[in-house]
Amino acid sequence: MKTQRSCLIVDDSAVIRRVVAEMFRDMKFTVSEAPTGLHAVAHCREQAPDLIMLDWNMPVMDGITCLREVRALEMAKRPIVIMCTTESQLSKIQEALAAGADEYIMKPFDQGVLLDKLSQFDLA
Amino acid sequence: MDDLLNEFLTETNESLGTLDVELVRFERDSSDVTILGNIFRLMHTIKGTCGFLGLPRLEAVAHAGENVLGKFRDGELLVTPDAVTLILKCIDHIRKLLAELEAAGKEPEGSDAGLIGEINAIAQAQPAAPTGTASDDSAPPLFDDTGFPVAAELLAEVAHALDPQQILFVSAPEAPTAPAPEAAIPAPAPEPVSVPAAVKDTPVAEARESALAASSIRVNVDVIENLMTLISELVLTRNQLMQLQRMQKSGEFKVPLQRLSHITSELQDGVTRMRMQPIGNAWAKLPRIVRDLCVESGKKIELVQRGADTELDRQVLEMIKDPLTHMIRNSADHGIESPADRLAAGKSASGVITLEAYHEGGHIFIRISDDGRGLDVARIRRKAIANGLASEADLASMSEQQVLQFVFRAGFSTAEKVTSVSGRGVGMDVVRTNVERIGGTIEMNSTAGRGTVFLIKIPLTLAIVSALIVETAGQRFAVPQINVIELVRAGNRSSARIETIKNASVLRLRDRLLPLVSLRTLLGMGEEDSTRDRFILVSQVGAFTFGVVVDRVFDTEEIVVKPVAPILRGTAFYAGNTILGDGSVIMILDPNGIAGAAGQGQAQLESAVTKSGEGEHRDSGHVSLLLFRAGSKELKAVPLEAVARIEEVSVSSIEHVGGRPVVQYRDHLMPLIALDDGHSWKEDGKQPILVFDKNGRALGIAVDEVVDIARDRVTIELQPGREGLLGSAIVAGKATDLIDIEHHVARNFSASFGMDYPVSGEAA
């Protein structure tokens, strides 16, 4: 049996974390949560997840900074990072991709959109 | 889903609260990019969350707001009060939608096109001139216009250098004016990991959101309440065990019991602390309220808050929230003058309201002071007379301080005009009632032209109170000690006696008649046994002072208040129940409820017998009359004020001196007179007497029967046909003769005392 895939959800809204976590649990992921970028970096330092759902706007440390931090870490495996954003400007998305994001997803999203985005990666 | 919705509501309401505060701060200093960043983020999160939960209306409104905020942030739009007002309106609208969502469980039908249109119109407005603080999206400036690094960037930098789990960012409310290396304090690590952080010489600017949030979790209130209940049980069981131990001769349990006791106390402390919340939570709305009021009235007001982190029980906090809001409104609306008036009075144009909270001896003190115009004593005087709260004579004998206290009376408002802010009808009496309900007190001091200070004192927690244990009909009850003003022992040998006026019991206490309630009859446990000594708990609810008659009084005890069982919730007499150290369950009496029950039967009596000199319960034009019969079936009446006492003497004790009836009364001979010459004196039994006090001399008027005390607006309908009568009037629906008591006293005075009746005012 294949080991379970792990996912880290980074968002300052507990409600959003819960909704997204539900989607991933449905897909048989083990889910961890982090309320800020700082927590996410700390988490990755200890244990790199397979996938990070990263919100852009967060207090203390925002998503893009967090992304740069995570990519700067030495890790056993390179987590897939999906930036979650409502920013529709192309410049933002380009900035994220340049900083090492693998994909972006517009909030709000449902499980269908999420599956579409995930299908390109070797996860499911 | 319901659960999720609840979580959403809690989270969003919290964000909205922060938004209110931050926006007002931002308006004051619109160059502060970190505040704006925070505001934008909050609105953005609200919008994002709504999107996830499928709440299109809320999402659209939040989006419109976010749009404007984004333009502020990007320097595309100038920050104007109008625009901020609109954003606040947007927040209010979101709040309204949330409330409806909470009530209905789903987003209400309707359209927000109007508001969104308004907001969008602002968003389309002229772009702002480029300023130094305007930032480009992709590359925010590392330095703001004060020349110091922008917080978020720096935090990231610092975070890079440090283990994020090992640092705490201490939030500094003001933008730093110099590098503050101490601002980042290494906190004890929750887990022992990695290298010690090198914080020295690292400049850290303000960090609005502290990483402290990481060490706190959100717990459902019910869980804590339940824990509190369990702890209370544990405390009670501990008390029981301790009591058992004291009766045991062997000491083998002594040490472990002591340890148990110690741990229980610590546990109780801990859980009590868990219920504590900073009082700042109750203040969050206030800056916004003051700000709105300033915009509306053209005043300039600064709200200074001190001690916002003072903690108190969340139950108390909830109950103090509204009174505080009301008082701040009052201060801002009535206390602080317009800028022009202030300048004319030699003050700065901007008024200051200071809100302060601090701990002192198991109580929380909240001080609200303003530097406004102060209360107008003359106006309060006029108002008190106009409202019939006091007579001019009453006021003349009062100090300014006493006169000021009238603002706490029901229906008292000194505002000359009704404003949309303070409104009408709700006055300081509501504030006082609310504060007193949680066992607090409120004091006020005011200096004309200098301002007003209110001081509220409230207990830290409501869960554990000091109570007096009493007994009635073999059952014990607890009465919260704060409700008991004094204890009086009434009995045959004591000077205090329980008297009866028209089936109502009263206690004469220091020249004042106190209405009594018998706990025994109130709770349907039989009739009072008048031969026994009894105890009276003198209690005060609002302006109503009354006595509760009980059989015995034991001791005071710290009790844990437990809510009343649902089956008893219908009766207003109980505030809860508790378990005593000996394990017995007893009820806690609620003086408010008892006053209600007492008030129905006794309000009339109470208002009538309260001595008029104290200026209580007097309406203009209303007179309290003592109704009695003497000589004939017709009702007669005298003003109650004139009657010093009502006595009953046994006929056998009436003696005759010089052919006139007298009775020994308080070591003096008191002459007795009858209203008509044809009065037939009783042969035996008891003779009711109305005692009048004239210049230190007591004079008794013999009557057949004291009927009632009536309180009425009296119009004399018939002019007197007979001497000694003022006239006739309808009192309480019956034709009644009004006795001219002065006439009778004067007629008998010279004969009785052997001197002329003195002209009023001079001593005899």
d(CA B88, CA B77): 17
φ/ψ (deg, to 5) at B495 = -70, -25
- pLDDT band at residue A54 under the 50/70/90 scheme: very high
**CB-CB under 8 Å, A61 with B48:** no
Min Cα distance B138 → chain A (Å) is: 7
Chain A residues lying within 8 Å of B49, measured CB to CB? 13, 15-16
Tokens 């690094």 label which residue?
B149
- Which of A21-30, B357-366, B423-432, B616-625 is the least confident region? B616-625
% of chain A exceeding 90 in pLDDT = 19
- Given a contact cutoff of 8 angstroms between Cβ atoms, the answer to whether B137 and A89 are in contact is yes
Average pLDDT, chain B: 74
Nearest by CB to residue B48, choosing from A18, A60, A86, is A86
Give the pLDDT mean for B289-307. Answer: 88
Rounded to 5°, angle at Cα B153 from A59 and A17: 25
Compare B502 and B535 and report the one with higher pLDDT. B535
Question: What are the pLDDT digits (tens) for B458-513?
Answer: 877 666 677 889 998 888 999 988 778 888 888 766 667 777 776 677 887 776 77
Q: Is the dihedral of CA B58, B59, B60, B63 positive or negative?
A: positive
| B327-B329-B331-B332 Cα dihedral, nearest 10 degrees | 160
Rounded to 5°, angle at Cα A54 from A50 and A60: 125
3-class SS of residue B286: helix
Tokens 């309406």 label which residue?
B619
Chain B residues lying within 8 Å of A91, measured CB to CB? 137-138
- pLDDT band at residue B139 under the 50/70/90 scheme: very low
- Residue B477 has a pLDDT of 92
Tokens 């499980």 label which residue?
A111
3-class SS of residue A110: coil
d(CA B107, CA B112): 12
List the beta strands (DSSP E) in B100-244: 167-169, 184-186
**CB-CB under 8 Å, A57 with B40:** yes
- Given a contact cutoff of 8 angstroms between Cβ atoms, the answer to whether A73 and A44 are in contact is yes
Min Cα distance B49 → chain A (Å) is: 6
- pLDDT band at residue B448 under the 50/70/90 scheme: confident
Q: Scanning every residue of chain B, which has its alpha carbon at the shortest distance from the alpha carbon of A91?
A: B138
3-class SS of residue A25: helix
**CB-CB under 8 Å, A19 with B214:** no
Tokens of B258: 């002591």
How high is the ipTM of this complex?
0.70
- Strand order through the sheet with A5-10: A29-34, A5-10, A51-55, A80-85, A103-106
What secondary structure does DSSP assign to B211-275, as a single string? Answer: GGGGG-----HHHHHHHHHHHHHHHHHHHHHHHHHHH-S--TTHHHHHHHHHHHHHHHHHHHHHT
- pLDDT band at residue B355 under the 50/70/90 scheme: very high
- pLDDT band at residue B420 under the 50/70/90 scheme: very low
Tokens of B407: 């603002």
**CB-CB under 8 Å, B160 with A69:** yes
Residue A49, preceding bond cis, omega within 30 degrees?
A: no
Residue ranges of A 60-99 with Cβ closer than 8 A to chain B: 60-62, 65, 69, 86, 89, 91-92, 95
d(CA B399, CA B238): 52
- Which of B110-114, B238-242, B416-420, B567-571 is the least confident region? B416-420
Give the pLDDT mean for B108-130. Answer: 75
- Which of B67-71, B124-128, B140-144, B266-270 is the least confident region? B140-144
How big is the A-B interface in CB pairs under 8 Å? 88
List the beta strands (DSSP E) in B343-423: 351-360, 363-370
pTM over 0.80: no
What end-to-end distance do the CA atoms of chain B give, in Å? 86
Testing the interface with B: which of A13, A44, A114 to mutate, by most B Cβ within 10 A?
A: A13
Please enumerate residues of B whose Cβ is less than 8 A from a Cβ of A.
4, 7-8, 11, 38, 40-41, 44-45, 47-49, 51-54, 137-138, 152, 155-156, 159-160, 163-165, 169, 207-211, 213-214, 218
3-class SS of residue B116: helix
* Residue B354 confidence (pLDDT) above 90: yes
**CB-CB under 8 Å, B51 with A59:** no
Q: Scanning every residue of chain B, which has its alpha carbon at the shortest distance from the alpha carbon of A67?
A: B156
* Residue A56 confidence (pLDDT) above 60: yes
Min Cα distance A94 → chain B (Å) is: 10
Q: Scanning every residue of chain A, which has its alpha carbon at the shortest distance from the alpha carbon of B170?
A: A60
d(CA B499, CA A42): 78
Give the pLDDT mean for B407-427. Answer: 54
- Residue B617 has a pLDDT of 36
Compare B604 and B554 and report the one with higher pLDDT. B554
% of chain B exceeding 90 in pLDDT = 2
- pLDDT band at residue B195 under the 50/70/90 scheme: very low
Residue B149, preceding bond cis, omega within 30 degrees?
A: no
Alpha carbon B464 to its chain centroid, in Å, reads 19
Chain B residues lying within 8 Å of A95, measured CB to CB? 138
- Given a contact cutoff of 8 angstroms between Cβ atoms, the answer to whether B494 and B590 are in contact is no
* Residue B360 confidence (pLDDT) above 80: no
